[in-house]
């Protein structure tokens, strides 16, 4: 605010409000290994950041405070369970500071939608507080803090495209040529990620294949999929999209089958559930077909909103002060 701005001492480098913009993601490959002893699943996870963003602002305050805006702000927990609050506390503890910061989340990424919206807010809060508090945490250490907060948080900081191994937190950046066009069909209400993983295990047990690390082969990235990204070849990427959590998400939310069908009927090259869902992602040829398919999806009545966008998108980026 104006008054906060003018309260800065002359010549001070301190800033009153820091804002960071962080993208959503889709997993173009999500291959799920067996359940590990620590409760996580080994993954071969190919992340692509896409152009839906949350903005996280940090302002010095007398005490910790979290606020949120945007059409779905009411669905965001504003207590200490919020991943953005946990991020600020983690960084403060690391540097021996009080976590006295007002965090504001301007929400555009679907809540509990399988697009890493909560992870985006955590990565954004870390970077915003690190800038506000001038703690200058090295990039490698920021990525470690991200991994402590959640499996998808390091990728939210990094952006672009990356292979995630381990539980998804061990990242290797991937080369991508050009941009891919997408439509995201946003559902009413979210899905809980742990529940979707549990359903995946249950379906594997029911199919008699077992769900433990001994019975499920270690997941590997598909060479054809990495080649499609490198070549910028949407048709080849469409042929190799894969999400092992999709059967579980559809089992918990059978209506998603209709959304997936509607997107393909409306001209998508291919569709898949994004991460643990319920958002469905459709790969498109170009921006025009993305706009048309978004219209048709909305008209089909199988989703609450349909958003055309592109990926890869840059990772967490400081937008204020510039």
Binding residues for ATP: 110-120
Cα–Cα distance measured from residue 42 to residue 51, given in angstroms and rounded to the nearest whole number: 27
User: Does the protein bind ligand C5P through residue 41 (CB under 6 A)?
Assistant: yes
Window of 5-13, 146-154, 238-246, 284-292 that interacts with ligand C5P by CB under 6 A: 146-154
Catalytic residue among 108, 152, 201, 244: 152
**Closest separation between CB of residue 7 and ligand C5P, Å?**
38
Q: Is 25 a catalytic residue?
A: yes
Q: If DSSP states are collapsed to H, E and C, what string results for the chain?
A: CHHHHHCCCCCCCCCCEEEEEEEEEEEEEEEEEEECCCCCEEEEEEEEEEEEEEEEEEEECCCCEEEEECCCHHHCCCCCCCHHHHHHHHHHHHCCCCCCEEEEEECCCCCCCCCCHHHHHHHHHHHHHHHHCCCCCCHHHHHHHHHHHCCCHHHHHHECEEEEECCCCEEEECCCCCCEEEEEEECCCCCCHHHHHHHHHHHHHHCCCCCECCCCCCCCCCHHHHHHHHHCCHHHHHHHCEECCHHHHHHHCCCHHHHHHHHHHCCCCEEEECCCCCCEEEEECCHHHHHHHHHHHHHHCCCCEEEEEEECCECCEEEECC
User: Does the protein bind ligand C5P through residue 34 (CB under 6 A)?
Assistant: no
Q: Is 155 left (phi over 0), alpha (psi -120 to 50) or beta?
A: alpha
State how far Cα 297 lies from the chain centre.
22
User: Does the protein bind ligand C5P through residue 243 (CB under 6 A)?
Assistant: no
Q: Which is nearer to ligand C5P, 108 or 169 (CB)?
A: 169
User: Does the protein bind ligand C5P through residue 168 (CB under 6 A)?
Assistant: yes
Joined together, the tokens standing for residue 72 give 């779905």
User: Does the protein bind ligand C5P through residue 47 (CB under 6 A)?
Assistant: no
Window of 6-14, 39-47, 52-60, 213-221 that interacts with ligand C5P by CB under 6 A: 39-47
Its sign, for the CA torsion 117, 187, 161, 181, is negative
User: Does the protein bind ligand C5P through residue 151 (CB under 6 A)?
Assistant: yes
**Closest separation between CB of residue 290 and ligand C5P, Å?**
29
User: Does the protein bind ligand C5P through residue 193 (CB under 6 A)?
Assistant: yes
User: Does the protein bind ligand C5P through residue 25 (CB under 6 A)?
Assistant: no
Q: Choose which of 150, 275, 311, 312 interacts with ligand C5P (CB under 6 A).
A: 150
Window of 50-58, 62-70, 147-155, 175-183 that interacts with ligand C5P by CB under 6 A: 147-155
**Closest separation between CB of residue 204 and ligand C5P, Å?**
13
Window of 19-27, 137-145, 148-156, 233-241 that interacts with ligand C5P by CB under 6 A: 148-156
**Closest separation between CB of residue 178 and ligand C5P, Å?**
29
Window of 105-113, 145-153, 280-288, 296-304 that interacts with ligand C5P by CB under 6 A: 145-153
Q: Choose which of 86, 104, 107, 167 interacts with ligand C5P (CB under 6 A).
A: 167
Asked if 126 and 157 count as a contact pair (C-beta separation under 8 A), the reply is: yes
User: Does the protein bind ligand C5P through residue 197 (CB under 6 A)?
Assistant: yes
Q: Which is nearer to ligand C5P, 39 or 223 (CB)?
A: 39
Q: Is 121 a catalytic residue?
A: no
Q: Which is nearer to ligand C5P, 105 or 269 (CB)?
A: 105
Residue for token digits 């959304």?
A: 259
Q: Give the interface with ligand C5P as residue ranges (CB under 6 A).
A: 39-41, 43, 150-152, 167-168, 193-194, 197
- Catalytic residue numbers, as ranges: 25, 152
């Amino acid at each position: 605010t104006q008054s906060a701005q003018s309260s800065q001492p002359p010549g001070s480098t301190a800033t009153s409000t820091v804002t960071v913009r962080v993208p959503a993601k889709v997993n173009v490959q999500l291959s799920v290994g067996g359940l590990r002893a620590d409760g996580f699943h080994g993954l071969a996870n190919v992340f692509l950041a896409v152009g839906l963003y949350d903005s996280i602002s940090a302002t010095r305050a007398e005490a910790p405070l979290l606020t949120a805006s945007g059409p779905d702000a009411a669905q965001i927990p504003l207590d200490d369970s919020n991943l953005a609050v946990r991020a600020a506390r983690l960084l403060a503890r690391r540097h021996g500071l009080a976590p006295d910061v007002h965090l504001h989340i301007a929400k555009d990424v679907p809540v509990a939608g399988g697009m890493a919206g909560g992870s985006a807010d955590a990565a954004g809060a870390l970077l915003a507080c690190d800038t506000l508090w001038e703690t200058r945490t090295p990039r490698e250490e920021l990525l470690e803090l991200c991994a402590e907060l959640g499996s998808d948080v390091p990728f939210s900081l990094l952006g672009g495209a990356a292979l995630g191994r381990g539980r998804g937190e061990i990242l290797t950046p991937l080369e991508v040529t050009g941009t891919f066009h997408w439509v995201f069909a946003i559902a009413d209400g979210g899905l809980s990620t742990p529940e979707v993983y549990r359903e995946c295990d249950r379906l594997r047990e029911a199919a008699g294949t077992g769900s433990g690390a001994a019975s499920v082969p270690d997941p590997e990235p598909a060479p054809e999929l990495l080649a499609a990204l490198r070549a910028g070849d949407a048709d080849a990427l469409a042929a190799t999209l894969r999400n092992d959590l999709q059967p579980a998400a559809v089992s918990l939310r059978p209506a998603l089958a209709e959304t997936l069908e509607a997107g393909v009927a409306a001209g998508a090259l291919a569709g898949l559930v994004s991460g643990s869902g319920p958002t469905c992602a459709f790969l498109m040829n170009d921006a025009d077909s993305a706009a048309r398919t978004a219209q048709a999806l909305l008209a089909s009545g199988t989703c609450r909103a349909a958003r055309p966008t592109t990926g890869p998108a840059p990772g967490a980026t400081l937008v204020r002060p510039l």
